[in-house]
Amino acid sequence: MITAHGLTKAIGQRTLWEGLELTVNNGEMMAIRGPSGSGKSTLLNCLGLLEPLTAGKILVDGADATAFRAGQRRIFRRDTLGYLFQNYALIDNASIQANLAVAGGQLRGLNRAQQQAIYQQALEHVGLDGRAKDRVYELSGGEQQRVALARLLVKKPGLILADEPTGALDEGNTEMVITTLRHMADKGAAILIATHSDHVEERCDTQLTLDALASMV
Ligand SMILES: Nc1ncnc2c1ncn2[C@@H]1O[C@H](COP(=O)(O)OP(=O)(O)OP(=O)(O)O)[C@@H](O)[C@H]1O
pLDDT at 169 (0 to 100): 78
pLDDT at 212 (0 to 100): 55
| 45 CA closest ligand 1 atom index | 18
Residues with CB under 6 A from ligand 1: 11, 16, 34, 36-42, 194
pLDDT tens per residue, range 78-122: 899 999 987 778 999 999 999 999 887 677 788 989 999 999 999
Q: Compute the distance between CA of residue 191 and CA of residue 121 in angstroms, rounded to an integer.
A: 22
Residue 63 belongs to what domain range?
Answer: 1-80+157-217
Domain count, the chain: 2
Domain boundary among 129, 156, 183: 156
User: Same domain, yes or no, for 49 and 111?
Assistant: no
pLDDT at 14 (0 to 100): 92
Average pLDDT for 20-30 = 98
DSSP E strands, 135-201: 159-163, 190-194
User: Same domain, yes or no, for 210 and 142?
Assistant: no
pLDDT tens per residue, range 184-206: 999 999 999 999 999 999 999 99
C-beta neighbour count of 137 within 10 angstroms: 11
Q: Residue 186's domain is classified under what CATH number?
A: 3.40.50.300
Residue with the smallest CA separation from ligand 1 atom 27 is: 36
ipTM of the complex: 0.95
Residue 86 resides in a domain: no
Residue 88 resides in a domain: no
pTM of the model as a whole? 0.92
Residue 203 resides in a domain: yes
Helix (H) or strand (E) holding 72: helix 70-79
- Which of 17-31, 45-59, 79-93, 193-207 shows the lowest mean pLDDT across its residues? 79-93
